[in-house]
Amino acid sequence: MRDYDEVTAFLGEWGPFQRLIFFLLSASIIPNGFNGLSAVFLIGTPEHHCRVPGSANLSSAWRNHSIPLRLQDGREVPHNCRRYRLATLANFSALGLVPGRDVNLTQLEQESCLDGWEFSQDVYLSTIVTEWNLVCEDDWKAPLTISLFFVGVLVGSFISGQLSDRFGRKNVLFVTMGMQTGFSFLQVFSTNFEMFTVLFIIVGMGQISNYVAAFVLGTEILGKSARIIFSTLGVCIFYSFGYMLLPLFAYFIRGWRMLLLALTAPGVLCVVLWWFIPESPRWLISQGRFKEAEAIICKAAKINGIVVPSTVFDPTELQDLSSQKQQSHNILDLLRTQNIRMVTIMSIILWMTISVGYFGLSLDTPNLHGDIYMNCFLSGVVEVPAYSVSWVLLQYLPRRYSMATALFLGGSVLLFLQLVPPDLYYLTTVLVMVGKFGITAAFSLVYVYTAELYPTVVRNMGVGVSSTASRLGSILSPYFVYLAKGPTNAFLPYISQGFFALGENIFSFFFKDLVGVLKFVTNICFACFYRIKYRQSPSHTRVLKDEEESPAILKSTAF
């Protein structure tokens, strides 16, 4: 019995039809680069200090000294969230006292910013932070907004696969692209922080759903050789192109509402792709729609200049294929045996750590010295060689060594940052980009690495659970960036991310040895659990023994 690839082998691997699908589906990913990291500019926090109203009746000297100074990076800067008590300063001003000479400023009483803040416009004309004063006591709202966006990504990850299985890859792709574009447009008219955040969650749901739909559609339409390049380089590099265009838009459009509107506009152009991207013939066959699938194959053959065989699909053969019942498995199978349990635990830790590192470094570009727009652009540029190198590593090196190399490069460089002298700003930026290179390469490698660790029958579930752990890591990543708040914490995000990356490097490289230790520990835990729970049920020991002796395929091991 032939499979789909054998039936459609006459189309070839890389004809005009395959090239068209490859580039159109990859191009549909570009807006994801906009929306995925637009928070860098939409939710940026500029320099700010307490506003001193004109009605305070202060002399120019006392107005210039109304904000306390604090030490940051070896220099004194105005405090962001405190000012000297204005009533006291007004009394000193009326008496003609001179600040610093007649009055010791360090002994004056301070108060919070009762009249709001003044924000620097050197970098941003406006962000949601400046519009709704998300600073000082409310500075937790900015990272929360980004985390909730990734909560939307998490929810979208759960539902996107089910929707595309039910309604078709093409339909879900374009509906969710419209969802991402439409709700981004509505964000422009947000009247408060809560409205912006709720809409941002929905944008996150659409953003990941159309990414997954495009990924699946491409892998199902393209042949084997083109499928590998599409899934490892195509979608990733075009995502990076969108990422690189983000700071270009932001440089010329400094207000957050107009910037968001400009980032939304390219999504409208994707509507044109509806007439060029077909539905997945594989999905149509699974739904029994053989005529539609055959029409798409015939059109592809015509574009490639190939004569179509008299019979493309044999309905009887395909009906028999689709009617075969597969053995069902559930998520508990990922914990049922020792080997699978260890693979699952290690994969969850690995994916979460890499995700924290990738999004943490991407979102932390405003905290780097130098021009924020150039730093963000470099952060996107460095991903292109990272994905290319990871693809080469997959071709020529064992997976374990490839992953260990990428994690070691990213982790060690980030840890080394704290040793760089403060005045060597350019060296710091270069090292951060090298760390981003290593973490991005690891992010690309981890998909293949994880998929090959699991037995075939639970591979999709294993990768799905690991991907969910990745989303949890992205939800946490804004708070690693939040560690940089304050005068002495600039390197904390890099130290923590470097530490985790090196730790995961050890885990991945010495996986075979560590798995024995983890087996020993978890076996003790499971034994204690079962002894406590079933100490009055001797028959349970026999059940467990029977299960361990079962020759199920879940006993398969990738070690």
Pick 424 or 382 by higher pLDDT: 382
**Is position 86 within any domain?**
yes
Q: In the prediction, which pLDDT does 455 show?
A: 67
| 503 and 384 inside one domain | yes
Strand, helix or coil for residue 110 = strand
Report the CATH number at residue 451: 1.20.1250.20
- Residue 365 has which token pair? 């570009």
3-state helix, strand, coil in the chain (%, to 5): 70, 5, 25
Backbone angles phi, psi at 69, to 5 degrees: -100, 150
Q: How far is CA 456 from CA 230, 448, 539, 555, in A?
A: 22, 13, 32, 12
Model confidence at 322: pLDDT above 60 = no
Q: What is the DSSP letter of 555?
A: G
- Alpha-carbon distance of 289 to 293, in angstroms, equals 7
- By C-alpha distance, which of 239, 270, 236, 321 is closest to 6? 321
Pick 557 or 429 by higher pLDDT: 429
| 303 and 235 inside one domain | yes
| 405 and 430 inside one domain | yes
| Secondary structure element (H or E) that encloses residue 282, with its range | helix 281-286
Residue that terminates a domain, selected from 301, 321, 341: 321
Model confidence at 310: pLDDT above 90 = no
Model confidence at 555: pLDDT above 50 = no
**Is position 542 within any domain?**
no
Q: In the prediction, which pLDDT does 193 show?
A: 92
Query: Strands 117-119 and 48-50: what pairing?
Result: antiparallel
**Is position 11 within any domain?**
yes
Residue that terminates a domain, selected from 321, 352, 370: 321
What number is the average pLDDT over the span 109-121? Answer: 89
| Secondary structure element (H or E) that encloses residue 111, with its range | strand 110-112
Neighbouring residues of 3: CB distance < 8 A, sequence distance ≥ 6 = 321
Q: How far is CA 146 from CA 296, 321, 325, in A?
A: 41, 45, 43
| 78 and 194 inside one domain | no
- Alpha-carbon distance of 182 to 191, in angstroms, equals 17
| 294 and 236 inside one domain | yes
- Residue 91 has which token pair? 């009394």
Q: What is the DSSP string of 355-416?
A: HHHHHHHHHTGGGSSS-HHHHHHHHHHTHHHHHHHHHHHHHHS-HHHHHHHHHHHHHHHHHH
Neighbouring residues of 367: CB distance < 8 A, sequence distance ≥ 6 = 481, 484, 490, 493
Model confidence at 119: pLDDT above 70 = yes
Q: How far is CA 47 from CA 77, 123, 376, in A?
A: 10, 9, 18
Residue that terminates a domain, selected from 59, 85, 119: 119
- By C-alpha distance, which of 454, 461, 493 is closest to 476? 493
Residue whose structure tokens are 């699908």: 21
| 340 and 311 inside one domain | no
- Alpha-carbon distance of 176 to 182, in angstroms, equals 9
**Is position 559 within any domain?**
no
| 508 and 365 inside one domain | yes
Q: In the prediction, which pLDDT does 418 show?
A: 67
| 407 and 261 inside one domain | no
Q: In the prediction, which pLDDT does 257 show?
A: 94
Judged by average pLDDT, the poorest of 315-324, 471-480, 544-553 is 544-553
| 163 and 254 inside one domain | yes
Model confidence at 188: pLDDT above 90 = yes
**Is position 519 within any domain?**
yes
- At 95, the amino acid letter reads L
- By C-alpha distance, which of 445, 283, 420, 269 is closest to 354? 445
Pick 117 or 457 by higher pLDDT: 117
Q: Report how far Cα 171 is from the mean position of its chain's Cα atoms.
A: 24
Pick 292 or 366 by higher pLDDT: 292
| 78 and 143 inside one domain | no
pLDDT, tens only, 503-551: 444 554 444 444 443 343 334 333 433 333 333 434 333 333 333 333 3
Q: What is the tally of structural domains in the chain?
A: 3
Average pLDDT, the chain: 76
Q: How far is CA 446 from CA 407, 455, 478, in A?
A: 11, 16, 22
**Is position 548 within any domain?**
no
| 83 and 1 inside one domain | no
Q: In the prediction, which pLDDT does 4 show?
A: 67
Instruction: Supply the range of the domain harboring residue 84.
Output: 48-119
Judged by average pLDDT, the poorest of 39-43, 162-166, 487-491, 548-552 is 548-552
**Is position 191 within any domain?**
yes
- Alpha-carbon distance of 174 to 180, in angstroms, equals 10
Q: What is the DSSP letter of 335?
A: S
pLDDT, tens only, 338-376: 777 777 787 788 888 888 888 888 887 877 777 899 989
Q: Quick one: pLDDT band at residue 467, thresholds 50, 70, 90?
A: confident
**Is position 546 within any domain?**
no
Strand, helix or coil for residue 75 = strand
Q: How far is CA 168 from CA 153, 215, 217, in A?
A: 20, 13, 9
| 340 and 382 inside one domain | yes
Q: In the prediction, which pLDDT does 329 show?
A: 56
- Alpha-carbon distance of 78 to 116, in angstroms, equals 15
- Residue 150 has which token pair? 């990734």
Q: In the prediction, which pLDDT does 258 show?
A: 94
What number is the average pLDDT over the span 484-504? Answer: 49
What number is the average pLDDT over the span 432-458? Answer: 77
Model confidence at 197: pLDDT above 80 = yes
